[in-house]
Amino acid sequence: MATYFVTGATGFLGRGLVERLIARPDCDRVHALVRPESMAKFEARGWPASVVAVPGDITEPGLGLGPGALPGPVDHVVHLAAVYDLTAPAEANHAANVTGTANVLAFAAANRAGLLHHVSSIAVAGDHRGRFAESDFDLGQRHHSPYHGTKFAAERLVREQDDVAFRVYRPAAVVGDSRTGEMDKVDGPYYFLPALARLARLPRALPLVLPDLGRTNVVPVDYVVDALAHLMHLDAPSGATYHLAEQGGQPVREVYNALAAVVGAPRIAATLPVRLPPVRSVPEPAAAVLAELGVPAQVVAHLDIPTEFETGATQVALAGSGVELPPFAEYAEPLVRYWERHLDPDRAWVRADSLRGRRVVVTGASSGIGEATALAAAAEGATVLLVARRAEELDRVRAAVEAGGGAAEVHPCDLTDGDAVAALVKELGVVDVLVNNAGRSIRRSVHLSVDRLHDYERTMALNYFGPLRLTLGLLPGMRARGFGRVVNVTTMGLQSDTPRFAAYLASKGALEAFGRAAGRELLADGVSVTSVRMPLVRTPMIGATKFYSALPAASPRSAARMVLRAMRGGGDVVQRPEGLAMEVLRVLVPDTARRALNLAYRLSPESAPEARRRAESPFAVLASTVLRPLWRGLR
């Protein structure tokens, strides 16, 4: 029975290799070196008891292992842990790739390992031009990145020692699984997929004619781990080396055309007999443009690989195993589809005007505009996260959503409680759209509020500070995803300066002003902030004021349609024509607009019982409203 000690077991290659090892009938135990910060990843794999986590770190002497960490010698030490990142700083590359390898070699010798399997890289070939056999190593090549240089230095350490027998495996650039497309990060050709996806806007039949883009070399992860699992158990001499790569490499043109066929972009129809010169450094302006497009400048220098890797000895060793490298064109589609679903940095913007699949938070969702908005968003395929104080009312709305075939979650919360909002943010998780709808309205004249400062404090607490806390809490997640929409339900009253609503309008005005400024800041981050200026809507909030019963009011369903416009990307403001007309009048004839509103204020009744006053004749009100300003103007 065989025992294994694997570094990098929680990495992309390591996970696949451990799966292959424990599937072997002669596997007794796999000891996986796991850094403390990666222990959660190890536990999430759900591996059987034959896979044992060994806390440690390759950058520490003795791998950071305490005495008795292993029950005895191991048959195979598999060294996978390394920095596989062209953009990583030199210090990180050296610590993991060189110091780490030296520590693994010392560990393997001290534990009398039967065989060390060192997973290197074709990067050791550096800038060597021409053929590079499995038996080749130092041909005088130069290395133009810390990654390439440290992979060469690490392999040299392995080759120059004779304390433990070893084998070397040099994978090409590893991409996703050839069947499922699964990949753990954006790397190599993945950096260029966003540009390809945008080229798909051009006619597919448009023929591209480009200079010779050179050659690359990519292999799918399942080929690499299958080959490793087979090759490491063969009877071979110490120092045997295998190239897990495409024989000679792949023309960049072929790789591009295979990916273009999947996304529907124009194909390269012809190549000019001109090869682009090698790129050793990228000017800062160009690097800034590339970074904005998601392409690290360090990658450009290594797009064209001048080396043609021989794989003849490797193919002989794999003969009869069933492990074969498929042509790139055969697995390009799974790679692209997985990238589209999981790795595309702008995947949230695909069908950006659709709510299907979005996670939408609606505050004040227990009734009125919030309830109608939740039902409408769920009907369009969103998962609605219902927020309000009353849990039983939210349960009723959720039942209505689910009865219509939608999905909803209930999150009771008092938005005026800072601690409760902080807990709510953690509960909600990833959110696409936030609708700040919960609000409080108070209708009372300013002169009747001189001893009621708490009216202003209450409206600010719920109408401004509540949504502000929630927005600030969810904003980091939106920015990290490069997509988010914040919808603030305000009021048409901000366009007319409606009398008796000073407390309410001040709070909604603060929210709208915050949204305008924040929206300017967050534009390039992919986060928009939209205000929905509601007209009078017939909801429970206006029920306490009998005066409103005689006025025309919109239905919650029509109000919800305005909110949905904002959720789909409604710009800065979603408003009604009559609101815009009032705003225009306020600008064009400010004095007339101000006097008209004062007249309306004086003719309409107070709503507070304690404010009942002697009724004035409408004629007296009209006369005083018109004549007093004129009379005073004559002074």
Catalytic residues: 504
Q: Which residue, among 56, 55, 58, 32, has the nearest Cα to 45 in the 3D structure?
A: 32
Residues facing residue 271 across a β-bridge? 210
591 SS3 class:
helix
CB-based contact 13:174 (threshold 8 Å): yes
Task: Write the single-letter amino acid at 59.
Answer: T
Measured CA to CA, the distance from residue 394 to residue 385 in angstroms comes to: 10
Which residues 6+ apart lie within 8 Å of 435 measured at CB? 360, 361, 362, 363, 370, 373, 487, 489, 563, 567
- What is the token pair recorded at 208? 């591209």
CB-based contact 51:90 (threshold 8 Å): no
- H and E: helices and strands count for the chain: 23, 22
> With the C-alpha atoms ordered 413, 415, 417, 420, is the resulting torsion angle positive or negative?
positive
Which residues 6+ apart lie within 8 Å of 141 measured at CB? 125, 126, 127, 128
Which residues 6+ apart lie within 8 Å of 347 measured at CB? 340, 341
DSSP 99: I
CB-based contact 77:54 (threshold 8 Å): no
The alpha-carbon radius of gyration of the chain (Å, integer) is 34
Measured CA to CA, the distance from residue 271 to residue 504 in angstroms comes to: 67
Measured CA to CA, the distance from residue 55 to residue 68 in angstroms comes to: 12
Measured CA to CA, the distance from residue 121 to residue 314 in angstroms comes to: 14
From the number of C-beta atoms within 10 Å of its C-beta (0-12, 13-18, 19+), residue 240 rates as: buried
CB-based contact 537:370 (threshold 8 Å): no
CB-based contact 291:284 (threshold 8 Å): no
DSSP 276: P
Strands 76-79 vs 166-171: parallel, antiparallel or unpaired: unpaired
